[in-house]
């Protein structure tokens, strides 16, 4: 009893000030107070100075009529829409280019990364040259390369290059027929979703059966048949409701059909190519990080080289690859703000225009920062979930 009391009092050494626990709380509280005071002082300073300079402040301007047009918009937008909607259009454009860019960059990155480890001299060298070129050029120059170097030298609209299936390519972009879904086409979508669900179910069952009995099942072909076959069947059953609108020549431009503008194309291609070079190096590092003993052991078990890569090397490599991959995805998203140089209406461009038309610089910058931060945090959160699934389950 007595010895216990002595033990309990020992860390305080009799003085309240010397208690490390109290000290810890004190300094944390101090930092918090300083931080709150700092934020308050800055906010106060901004508000007072804006009022003194007779500059309007607050977020009320977001409800005002925008009055300017935006070239690319995934949602309904006109000059009568609000400033908020203009910013939303920019945000969606940023998300679109980031998502398709991430997917493409990952595919190119994996191909090039594995290619750098190929036994074929030519493939290996081509992949090395790709990585060294794109990794060592600033992304802005890559964007200009695609915009001014490739797409701007295409012919004008009247001399468009004819491509198969009624598509055209000219310096105003890539035009292809737009699908017009008639009545009953919802059946096709339902069939597609059903096909995907059934394919997933079949894959699961086949895996369980192979685990239990060792008998393989042709999962790939069954899945393709389900995912492609079912919608085709639905298409036939609902009476072929699909028709196409083809792009046609008019006074100035091609009209009709679907247009992919050169601003989007060059930004998308540049971001994909640029980030793919980094992803390729991450993939190469991940594969090299799996010890050769693993490959040798798998070979000793009699697995073929394709199966070794798919079943032994890649699952282990993914654990090394995913964390740095997240950084590259974040980089790609943030680099998409370079769109402003070529006039793609992303978040930075539209929020910047709003900022300039209303003169509310502080609010505009705060909105941009908050949105990019949110986008990055969401990307990180998704990648953390993926990482947790891939991580080694320790028993």
Partner 1 sequence: MKHIAIGVLGAAAFGFAASAASAATLDDVKAKGFIQCGVSTGLAGFSAPDDKGEWQGIDADFCRAVAAAVFGDGTKVKFTPLSAKERFTALQSGEIDILSRNTTWTINRDTALGLNFVGTTYYDGQGFMINAKKLPGVNSALQLSGAAVCVQSGTTTELNLADYFKSNKMEYNPVVFEKLEEVNAAYDAGRCDVYTTDQSGLYGIRLTLGAPADHVVLPEIISKEPLGPAVRQGDDQWYHIVKWTYFALLDAEELGITKANVDEMKNSDSPEIKRVLGQEADTKIGTDLGVSNDWVVNIVKAVGNYGEMFERNVGSGSPLKIARGINALWTKGGLQYAPPIR
Task: Give the footprint of partner 1 on this chain (CB under 8 A).
Answer: 35, 38-39, 42-43, 45-46, 49-50, 52-56, 67-71, 78-79, 148, 152, 156, 171-172, 250-253, 255, 262-263, 340-343, 345, 349, 352-353, 355-359, 361-362, 365-366, 369, 373
Measured from the CB atom, is 113 or 352 closer to partner 1?
Answer: 352
CB of 261 to partner 1, least distance (A): 8
For partner 1, which is the closer residue by CB, 79 or 243?
79
Nearest approach, Cβ of residue 384 and partner 1 (Å): 17
Q: Write out 31-73 in H/E/C secondary structure.
A: HHHHHHHHHHHHHHHHHHHHHHCCCCCCCHHHHCECCCCCCCC
Q: Supply the minimum distance, in Å, between the C-beta of residue 263 and partner 1.
A: 8
Q: Please, what is the minimum distance in Å from the beta carbon of residue 238 to partner 1?
A: 34
Distance CA 151, CA 263 (A): 9
Question: How many of the other CB atoms lie within 10 Å of CB of 285?
Answer: 14
Looking at beta carbons only, is 61 or 130 nearer to partner 1?
Answer: 61
Closest to 343 measured CA to CA, from 334, 331, 352: 352
Residue whose tokens read 């990055």: 376
Cβ count within 10 A of residue 276: 28
What tokens were used for 118?
Answer: 């190929």
CB of 373 to partner 1, least distance (A): 6
Q: What are the CA-CA distances from residue 118 to residues 291, 304, 306 (Å)?
A: 17, 16, 13
Contact 229, 143 (CB under 8 A): no
Nearer to partner 1, 35 or 232 (CB): 35
Tell me how far, at minimum, the Cβ of 110 lies from partner 1, in Å.
32
Task: Determine whether 291 is exposed, middle or buried from the number of CB atoms within 10 Å of its CB (0-12, 13-18, 19+).
Answer: exposed
Vertex 123, ends 119 and 127: CA angle to 5°? 115
Of 155 and 239, the one with the shorter C-beta distance to partner 1 is 155
Q: Which is nearer to partner 1, 139 or 286 (CB)?
A: 139
């Amino acid at each position: 009893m007595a010895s216990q009391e002595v033990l309990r009092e020992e860390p305080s050494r009799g003085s309240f000030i010397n208690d490390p626990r109290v000290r810890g709380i004190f300094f944390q509280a101090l930092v918090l107070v300083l931080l709150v005071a700092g934020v308050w002082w800055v906010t106060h300073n901004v508000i007072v100075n804006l009022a003194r300079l007779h500059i309007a402040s607050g977020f009320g301007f977001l409800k005002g009529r925008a009055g300017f047009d935006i070239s690319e918009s995934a949602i309904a937008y006109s000059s009568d829409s609000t400033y908020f909607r203009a910013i939303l259009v920019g945000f969606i454009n940023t998300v679109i280019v980031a998502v398709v860019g991430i997917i493409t960059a990952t595919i190119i990155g994996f191909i090039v990364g594995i290619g750098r480890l190929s036994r074929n001299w030519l493939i290996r060298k081509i992949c090395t040259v790709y990585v060294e070129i794109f990794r060592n050029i600033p992304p802005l120059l890559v964007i200009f390369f695609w915009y001014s170097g490739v797409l701007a030298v295409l012919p004008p609209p009247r001399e468009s290059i004819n491509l198969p299936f009624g598509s055209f390519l000219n310096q105003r972009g890539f035009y292809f027929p737009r699908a017009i879904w008639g009545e009953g086409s919802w059946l096709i979508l339902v069939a597609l979703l059903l096909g995907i669900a059934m394919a997933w179910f079949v894959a699961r069952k086949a895996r369980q059966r192979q685990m239990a009995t060792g008998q393989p099942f042709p999962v790939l072909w069954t899945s393709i048949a389900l995912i492609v076959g079912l919608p085709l069947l639905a298409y036939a059953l609902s009476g072929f409701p699909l028709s196409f609108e083809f792009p046609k020549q008019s006074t100035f431009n091609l009209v009709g059909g679907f247009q992919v503008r050169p601003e989007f194309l060059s930004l998308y291609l540049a971001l994909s190519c640029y980030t793919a070079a980094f992803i390729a190096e991450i993939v190469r590092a991940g594969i090299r990080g799996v010890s050769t003993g693993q490959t040798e052991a798998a070979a000793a078990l009699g697995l073929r080289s394709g199966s070794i890569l798919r079943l032994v090397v890649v699952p282990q490599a993914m654990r090394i690859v995913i964390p740095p991959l997240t950084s590259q995805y974040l980089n790609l998203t943030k680099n998409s703000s370079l769109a402003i140089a070529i006039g793609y209406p992303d978040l930075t461009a539209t929020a910047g225009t709003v900022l300039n038309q209303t003169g509310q610089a502080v609010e505009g910058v705060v909105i941009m920062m908050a949105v990019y931060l949110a986008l990055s945090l969401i990307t990180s959160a998704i990648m953390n979930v993926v990482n947790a699934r891939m991580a080694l389950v320790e028993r």
